Amino acid sequence: MTALTFGYALEVVNLKKTFGGLTVTQNVSLSIRPGERRLIIGPNGAGKTTLFNQISGDLRPNSGSISLFGSDITHLPPYKRAHLGLSRTYQIITLFAGDTLEHNVTLGLLGLRRARWQMWRPLSFYGNMTTEARRTLDAVGLLQLATHPISDIAYGERRRVELAMALAQQPRVLLLDEPLAGLSNTERATVKSLIASIPRQTTVIMIEHDMDTALDLAETVTLLNYGRVIVDGERDAVIADERTREVYLGT
């Protein structure tokens, strides 16, 4: 019913992607409602990140379609998708190592503002952007490090900057690619509560291997294997499903 009223936040239909003879995405269809928390799981090489790359526009699918809140984005370049409210983080940390945390987050804000074309005023002219960047850093608990360069901070903190950069954009759909990868137990708890605190206006789609943490955050789960959707549905139903056990534990 909600689906009919609000439409889907993200709808992927019959997506297909091959690299030469290797099919990495096979007829993948996903329908994600606004505000939903979706977890995407699957063994290594299942095609999870490739799927994300197609949704964010880094890769073009061979066929199929992707739409964001009803508008077709299949052929849009990544930066236009960002302007429609799609934001993502990376599994491999992709930050500006020489720049400060504040600058990194500010770039996230700048990307959606006209000021990114401003050719005579420095970034520091836009004080409200700096304020907002600092507020986001405060939200992820890194305000005290705001003026340090990324190269000075620890791995776990970089993960949080990744998240802050995306959150600062106040996206309508947020793709998180293994936000917990490589974190210690304490850091996991921090990032987990951070993700849990993301407002409901943002739809969250997350790839994660750490089931204990990720399943707590998820409402619905999609299991991928060999580029196919194996099981798709409410969290408990997917966990209980025979095929999930098969993929993860073998028969």
Partner 1 sequence: MKWIGVALVAGSLLLPPLFAGDFYINLASQILIAAIFALSLNLLVGFGGMTSLGHASYLGVGAYMSALLTSRYGFGHGAAALLSIVGTTAMAAFFGVIALRASGLGFLMITLALSQVLWGLAYRMSNVTNGDNGIAGLTRPAPFGISLDSPISFYWFALIVATFALVMMATFVSSAFGSSLKGVRDQPRRMAALGFNPWLIRWITFVYAGFWGGVAGLLYVYYHKYIHPTSLSTTSSAEALLRDARRPGRRRGIGGAPEKLRLCLPRTLEYAAGFGVSFHCVSNADRHRSRRKQAHHPIARG
Please give the residue ranges that form the binding site for partner 1 (CB under 8 A).
56-58, 77-79, 82-83, 87-88, 90, 94-99, 103, 106-108, 110-112, 115-126, 149, 165, 169
Question: In this structure, how many other beta carbons lie within 10 angstroms of the beta carbon of residue 35?
Answer: 16
Least Å from the CB of residue 174 to partner 1: 12
Q: Which structure tokens are listed for 121? A: 């005023």
DSSP sequence for 38-96:
EEEE-STTSSHHHHHHHHHTSS--SEEEEEETTEE-TT--HHHHHHTTEEE--SS----
Give the nearer residue to partner 1 in terms of CB position, either 169 or 222.
169
Q: Which structure tokens are listed for 230? A: 């194996």
Give the nearer residue to partner 1 in terms of CB position, either 126 or 226.
126
Give the nearer residue to partner 1 in terms of CB position, either 104 or 222.
104
Give the nearer residue to partner 1 in terms of CB position, either 37 or 88.
88
**Burial track 215-232 (b if 16+ CB lie within 10 A, e otherwise):** bebbebbbbbbebebbbb
Least Å from the CB of residue 110 to partner 1: 6
Structural contact between residues 249 and 48, judged by C-beta atoms closer than 8 angstroms: no
Least Å from the CB of residue 154 to partner 1: 19
Give the nearer residue to partner 1 in terms of CB position, either 76 or 143.
76
Cα separation, 215 vs 50, in Å, equals 22
Least Å from the CB of residue 120 to partner 1: 5
Least Å from the CB of residue 98 to partner 1: 4
